[in-house]
Structure 1
C-alpha cells in the first residue's frame, strides 16, 4: 500500500505493509456488568450528650471556628446592637463576621487582631 504524506508543504511517498490482518486482532473480554443502582441506607447514630461548652449564653460571644482574629470592631464599655459586627475572623482563607447575639454593653474583649482562636473560645463578654 502506498501513502503520500505532506509535511511543511513537502510531499513524501511511503510504502506501507500491513503485517496483521484485522481478523487476527486480539479479542478483549466484554465489559463487566454495571454496578447496581445506589440505594441510600438510613443509619441510626447514637444521640450525643449535650456539651456544656455548646450552651447558648447571650452574655457571651464565642468563636464558631478555629482561625485568626482579623479585626476587632468594639471596645470594652461600648454599647452594641443585636447582630452588630463585633469582630472578623479568618478561617481557611475565608473571612467570617462575628455578631453580637443581642443589644448589650461589651464588658470585656478577650482577643486582639492577630490572635489565634479555637472553636468555642470566649471572644467577648457582655453585661
Structure 2
C-alpha cells in the first residue's frame, strides 16, 4: 500500500506492507454435557406405510385403540389415543372411510411419522 505522509511540512511517499492477522480458528462447540462423553448421532427408523395411513404426529406409546379393522369411520372421529410425557393426544381420522388395518396395539411405542392405522 502506498501512503503520502507529511513531516515538518515535507511530503513523503511511503510504501507500507500490511500484514493481515491470522483469523482464530474455532474449535468444536459443545452444548450441554459436561460428562466428557461425546454424543454419537443416531437415526430413527419407522415402518413403511401406505399413502392412506394415519401416522403418529409425535413419539409416544399407544394408550387406547378405539377402532377395529373393517369399522366404518367419519372424518374427525377419534381413532386412537397416544400418550407422551403424561399427556394424551387424540389421533383423529382425516377423512371418512373404512379401517383397513390397525398397525399398533395398546402399549406399543411409536416414533413420529410411524403408521398407526391404514384406511380404505
Give the TM-score band, short-chain normalised.
Answer: 0.5 to 0.7
Q: What is the root-mean-square deviation of aligned Cα atoms in Å?
A: 1.6
Cα distance in 2 between the residues matched to 1:58 and 1:87: 19
Counterpart secondary structure, 1:68? strand
TM-score (norm 1): 0.54
Query: Aligned residue for 1:66?
Result: 59
Query: Aligned residue for 1:119?
Result: 112
Unaligned runs of 5+ in 2: 1-45
Cα distance in 2 between the residues matched to 1:69 and 1:108: 16
**Which structure would you say has the larger Rg?**
1
1:69-123 Cα offsets, whole Å, 9 max, x none, are: 0000000000000000000000111000000000010000000000000000000
Q: CA deviation at 1:59?
A: 1.8
| Equivalent of residue 93 in structure 1, options 86, 90, 94 | 86
Counterpart secondary structure, 1:106? strand
TM-score (norm 2): 0.57
Cα distance in 2 between the residues matched to 1:114 and 1:66: 13
Q: Which runs of at least 4 in structure 1 moved beyond 4 Å after TM superposition?
A: none
How many aligned residue pairs are there?
72
Structure with higher helix content = 1
Check the 8 A contact 1:58/1:102 in 2, yes or no.
no
Query: Aligned residue for 1:80?
Result: 73
Query: Aligned residue for 1:14?
Result: none
Cα distance in 2 between the residues matched to 1:72 and 1:58: 21
Q: CA deviation at 1:58?
A: 6.9
